Structure 1
Amino acid sequence: MRERPDSAPELLMVERAQGMAFAGGALVFPGGRIDDGDRSLAADEASAAAVAAIRETVEETAIPAGLDPVPDQTLSIQLQRELLADDPFGALLQRHGLRLELDSLIPFARWVPKFHSTRRFDTLFFLASAPAPLREPRVVEGECSGASWITAAEALERDRVGDARLIFPTRRNLERIALHESFEALRADAQAHAIEPITPWVEEIGGENFITIPEGIGYPVTRERLDGLWRG
């Protein structure tokens, strides 16, 4: 998240390539799977997820969140290229004199949907403040088809008018983020709610099926009609 004096805070979001097996073309937050190299740099699985979040954000956008000292634009692009060439993240950190600042990533939510019969997702979402100076994301073909800074309200509006596509967890997270006008307010919200697995379920209300999540965990919208819902 980066704060702007003339607007609501902006979020770094990417558009998944159309050909991807899951959620092709969806507007999502940077991220990806945890690999063994991430685990080698972490004390536990939650920390490994934070390492993966930092690595994937650099790989997909060249935005160096969670690194100290903050790499300049030239080094950030070099790190992106080296990661895309499959250079081990740990070796890159050592080579360039960088340290992971895992504490700068604040756990925000954990989603564990179970609607797909062949794919299972256990996804941790983190909140991080954008490193200064502010910079634009750099997209590499094959990683994603686009990346931009956008407010939560703008992302939701793009989805509403059909200019972007959101899957259920992304939409719910954006609605929650849109409630807050600063990074500190969102940090307080994240710290006020336990990070428990959120597994949506289907329930019938008034003869219609809805995908539902628990109430009281920070989300202003807790259900959406199943009919016509795109789940990636």
Structure 2
Amino acid sequence: MDTSNSNSDAPAMDAITGKPMPRPIPASTLVIFRDQPGSSAPDLLMVERSAKMVFAAGAAVFPGGRVDDADFDFAKALGHEDHEEYGARIAAIRESIEETGIAVAVDGNLDAKRVLEARNALHDGTILAEICSQFDWQLELEKLIPFSRWCPPFAEKRVFDTRFYMISHDDHQAQATVDETENYNLFWGNAQSVLDRAEAGEVKIIFPTKRNLERLAQFGSFDEAVGHTRDYPSVMVSPHIEKRENGVHLCIPEGIGYPITSEAMEAVQRGFSKQGGPKEGQ
């Protein structure tokens, strides 16, 4: 598990401009697995973000978003000393309900009507702690498996320090539905099929999503993915730019579980902001 603190007192510097970086916004993302009997690869739940969103507009990403103060407060109330880690886990669960209508890592009455009530309440501003108290829900935070953590060294208007978690959800009866605010479509598909759709121009994926999908495409089941994280525990991934003989590449470190660690800069231009640095997140 990565417990490094990116919010140190000394400001980080932009890798390109040398200017001070803005304080990263804590964020959390959940890779929801659904093993497919008879299939060589599990399905993953992807959401396609609205074109009106400031971050990753129109891109296919994993469900997730920023960690709210209420998430940190809930983690503290539950007795977790590492409230940054467990606040992020709480946020991942909350965002999954908000964005997809699926409740994971929750023990209690999870019939469709109850989950819809919780989703509507979250959209109306009710915090998850109050919903759990009202519905007698208990969060099973240990079910979330840390997968990775990304934070770019580029001074965007919004820089996200994003923790990625995995969880298995084999309830095939649970219907994921769009929230019609932040996303306009969602779909299940194995990691390689999403990569193939992106290659064909059918969906848009940004640099972190592509690297994570390539890593996830190695696994034939959720259990295989969990075993992989034991060999390659979650660490902070901070992309960097390298000038090579064949051009400029955006790179991530070797030896942390990713089968592909670089991509030609021109191939990732759609994932960049006007300032020239890569957008970060889901």
Q: Is the 8 A contact 1:136 1:148 kept in 2?
A: no
> How many pairs are equivalent?
232
| Letter of the structure 2 residue corresponding to residue 9 of structure 1 | P
| Cα contact 1:139–1:146 (8 A) shared by 2 | yes
| Paired residue type of 1:148 | F
Of 30, 37, 48, which residue of structure 2 is paired with 1:5?
37
Q: 1: CA distance between counterparts of 2:106 and 2:147? A: 19
More contact order relative to length (CA 8 Å, sep ≥ 6): 2
Instruction: Give TM-score scaled by structure 2 length.
Output: 0.79
TM-score, with length taken from structure 1: 0.96
RMSD: 1.3
Asked whether the 8 Å contact 1:65–1:131 carries over to 2, the reply is no
* Structure 1 residue ranges, 4+ long, deviating more than 4 angstroms after superposition: none
Local SS of the residue matching 1:92: helix
Q: Specify the alignment match of 2:7 in structure 1.
A: none
2:48 pairs, out of 15, 28, 42, with 15
Amino acid at match of 1:29: F
Tell me, yes or no, if structure 1 residue 71 matches structure 2 residue 103.
Answer: no
Per-residue Cα deviation, 1:45-70 (whole angstroms, up to 9, x for no partner)? 01100000000000001111110126
| 1:218 is the counterpart of 2:218 | no
Q: Deviations over 1:37-94 (max 9, x none)?
A: 1011112101100000000000001111110126111111111111111111100001
Name structure 1 gaps, 5 residues minimum.
none
* Aligned-partner Cα distance in 2 for 1:190–1:116: 30
Question: Equivalent residue for 2:59?
Answer: 26
The residue correspondences of 1:9-158 to structure 2 (distance < 5 A) are: 9-42=42-75, 43=80, 44-69=83-108, 71-130=110-169, 132=171, 134-158=173-197
**1:197 aligned partner, one-letter code:** M
Tell me: CA distance 1:202–1:70, structure 2 relative to 1, closer, same or farther (3 Å): farther
Determine if contact 1:64/1:131 at 8 Å carries over to the other structure: no
CA contact (8 A) 1:14 1:147 kept: yes
1:178 matched residue in structure 2 = 217
Residues 110 and 198 in structure 1, CA contact (< 8 A), matched pair in contact too: yes
Secondary structure of the residue that 2:189 maps to in structure 1? strand
Query: C-alpha distance in 2, partners of 1:120/1:86?
Result: 24
Displacement of 1:114: 2.4
Name the CA distance, whole Å, in 2 between partners of 1:213 and 1:99: 37
1:114-161 per-position Cα deviation (integer Å, ceiling 9, x unaligned):
234322110000000115354220112112111121110111011000
**SS of corresponding position for 2:266:** coil
Instruction: State the percentage of identical aligned residues.
Output: 38
Q: Structure 1, residues 151-210: CA drift from partner, whole Å, max 9, x if none?
A: 101110110000000000000000000001010000111122132210000001114000
